[in-house]
Amino acid sequence: MEKSALKMLNRTDLTKRLVAKLKREEAVVGGIGNTNFDLFAAGHRPQNFYMLGSMGLACPIALGVAMAQPERGVIALEGDGSILMGLGCLATIGNLRPRNLTIVIMDNGLYQITGKQAAATAGATDIVAVARGAGIANSHWVRDEAHFEELIERRFDEGGPILWAAKIDDKPGVGPTIRDPALIRNRFMKGLGTGRGGALDA
Amino acid sequence: MGWSEIFLQTLKDNDVRLVTYVPDNVLTPLIDGVTTDNYFMPVNATREDEAIGTVAGAWMGGMKGVVMMQTSGFALIANALASLVVPYQIPAILVVSERGTLGEFNIGQTLVARVMRPTLDTLGIVHHTLTDESTLRFIVDSSIKQAVTTQSPVAFILSPLLTGGDPVADGKLRS
């Protein structure tokens, strides 16, 4: 489907729909800025990881989680500006082919959080075409909300790597995440069963 | 055992299975070692910051990992260190094959080599320059254990004194 013919969706809405479908303690890595604000706003889960900085590394971080825990579904939520910063990771993932990794790109064609400056994705660049070219054959544009619901009605621990990209509007995320990296990491590891809190977690 | 075998065995002794890397001549015996040994999970990354992200994710998922790069690659990772590895307290193990010193033909490499240690010091990242096979196992083994126990990254800089340097670069220096 041509990018220009896609329905304009909303990040907050899509993120809520996705989180509502997660029933198997899937790990979700939320990219910097609006992407993880909306993940946090959709309702915190112990298996959520929120990035504060390191723009562009949501997919590499999610790949690491997926390799360490091959039985767990892992989802990377990333913005178009962020994935443009590190397109090479799509080639790495396209070659390694982790079956438990799903990437969702929220593509507003903008650097929304820094003042809505245009990104390359507003012009000629098509993220789904890039991902396919990088070796992630199972890469698709999300046509509309119903299509997204259809796509996420699945297990996330098999069938990957998958990339879905959604054209979204220019709205900001709905709220900031708690800005405490050590706490975020600690809680995420507890959620993945890899923490060492022991009695401290009681 | 040569330096590369000692290094890889010490990784195994410490359950370090994930190896993400961007290739380099000096790293070749390490890369060959991890890609031909089923114990290791190699990831041929496209950039050094990507390689760090994957090791960070794996640590949180319960798997220890090491990132291997050349000196020039170190120049790409300041943000990944300052906004991911250090504040999130990730015991990433960094291995940097040292270019830019002891016979370097490329001025760009010499400048990055001078930036490397001050950057690590500024970020409070423990680093050791490995020069000698006889102390290699002790330094690497104890430092990995310290990194994991204290939830802090550690960097090992592979000096030409240990590795013999990059033969291709050396050829250009002398031609």
Q: How many domains in chain A?
A: 1
Structural domain that includes position B53: 3-174
Whose CA is closest to A33, among B91, B88, B123, B83?
Answer: B83
Whose CA is closest to A115, among A55, A176, A58, A34?
Answer: A34
Q: Distance from A192 to chain B by nearest Cα, in Å?
A: 6
Q: Distance from B56 to chain A by nearest Cα, in Å?
A: 6
- Looking at this predicted complex, what is its ipTM? 0.97
CB-nearest to B60 from A54, A59, A189 is A189
Distance of CA A189 to CAs A108, A198, B60, B153, Å?
31, 12, 5, 17
Does B47 contact A at CB distance below 8 Å?
Answer: yes
In eight-state DSSP terms, residue A43 is -
Residue A201 has pLDDT above 90, yes or no: no
CA–CA gap between residue A185 and residue A38 (Å, rounded): 18
CATH number for the domain spanning A192: value is: 3.40.50.970
- Contact call for residues B73 and B27 (beta carbons, < 8 A): no
Q: How many domains in chain B?
A: 1
- Contact call for residues B54 and A64 (beta carbons, < 8 A): yes
Q: Which of residues 107-136 of B touch A (CB under 8 A)?
A: none
- Contact call for residues B93 and B153 (beta carbons, < 8 A): yes
Judging contacts by C-beta atoms under 8 Å, the chain A residues touching residue B84 are 51, 53-54, 57, 61
φ, ψ (nearest 5 deg) of residue A42: -75, -5
- Give residue-wise pLDDT tens across range A169-198: 999 999 888 999 999 999 999 999 999 888
Structural domain that includes position A103: 3-201
pLDDT for the residue B86: 98
- Give residue-wise pLDDT tens across range B111-147: 999 999 999 999 999 999 999 999 999 999 999 999 9
CB pairs under 8 A between A and B: 123
CA–CA gap between residue B84 and residue A76 (Å, rounded): 16
Q: Distance from B33 to chain A by nearest Cα, in Å?
A: 19
Candidates A29, A52, A54: best to mutate against B (most CBs of B within 10 A) is A54
pLDDT for the residue A176: 83
A41 exposure class (CB count in 10 Å sphere: 0-12, 13-18, 19+): middle
| pTM, 2 dp | 0.97
CA–CA gap between residue B103 and residue A143 (Å, rounded): 58
